[in-house]
Chain A
Amino acid sequence: MTHQQVFFDDVEIGQEIPKLIKGPMTNAHIMRWSACMENWHRIHYDRAYAVEHDKLPDVLVNGSWKQHVLMQLLKDWAGLGGWAWKVGFQYRDMDIPGDIITAWGKVTKKYEKGGSGYVELDVGLRNSRGVESTKGAAVVILPMRGGPPVPYPFPVQ
């Protein structure tokens, strides 16, 4: 992968990081993920159960899948020289087949700690129906120009 490393020095508060787009999501994508993690929750593959029993609009894109999209967004931005340390999010709405899902992040704060650059971001997933299905916040560590590498493994705290 050719990836231009992002440095703490170059990050500005309010800056949006490169978006990550997935989809359109289909039943096949949802089935593939469910089978991959052996999640047999019927709301992800049994439309009759999802709609008639659980009163949902359709089968749902798994929350367990959506969290990896947020993580990928942050990991790809941090690059191999940085570290996507922490992300917390709430699932506020549903994503269903047909949705294109866009992961986004916006820098809210930056500070230096122990020779590394800490960047806080608001993050979320927005679908092509305009619904913000997932919202959260993250902390990413970035190297500083001329500074030491971000430690790996990242120190447990």
Chain B
Amino acid sequence: MTLATSDPNVLHDWITVGPASRLLGTSPARPYVTRLLGAQACVWQEAATPAATLDGAPVSALLRYGYIWIWPAGTPAPLFDFPEYDEPGRRIVDCDGFGVAVSGPRMVENFLDMGHFPFVHADYLGTVPHTEVKPYTVSVDEANDEIRVTECRFVQPKSSSISTEPLEVHYRYRIMQPLSIMLYKSAFGRPDALDAIALFVQPVDEERIFAYTVMALFDDDSSHTSLVAFQHTIFGQDKPVLENQVPKRLPLRPGSETPTRCDVASVAYRRWLKARGMRYGVIAD
């Protein structure tokens, strides 16, 4: 196998290649075919587990959280935890995903960002003049090498498919891998609970991805279709913005772009990527 990259961040970790539903009806002769890290990935159902090749070579594969994960090179370690996925009382909604002509890190950074809510998601996740991003906290969970972003608050007019009044929504973020991030937001009507929304990014190549969303919610009232439709609407609003960022790869050199006070989380993400020696989908120097 000769992949175009030697970046251990993407070679020695689990990366998703799509929902488990892609494996329906597959066999070694008729695998699910997709692209990962610039190479062809084939995955098929073999008894209870998935089997996969990447660029023609066998690779480890597993099914977790309703998604197919591949470990491109070397010996696999455990996948990150997503405890909310199996938590009783939660409803799992798989929104599947979409293609975006941008790098994975740009997608993750957009998912982390609240300042764009009143502009890109006007009347959905934010409205002028409620544009202020109040200070929040960023820390690194050293044990798991994950970034935690907490105490985020934002005034939203229509923060989910069922809310009708503007209210201040509480957010938290957790970045598990360079290309996987979770957001937690206060559940509508349940002040003590947080809905969990995960973004898993499949890097087709350095400047093209598939972005998948899985939600673990406290919501017994909304229809499945309306929940998925809401996420698709939000996604559709982000897509042209992501595809018109220049350059497509995320610049890691400080000073190449201009963060401001509300960008503490994205500054931390870029620093974390640099410290990890990230090369794929970024401009490292």
Q: Are A and B bound to each other?
A: no
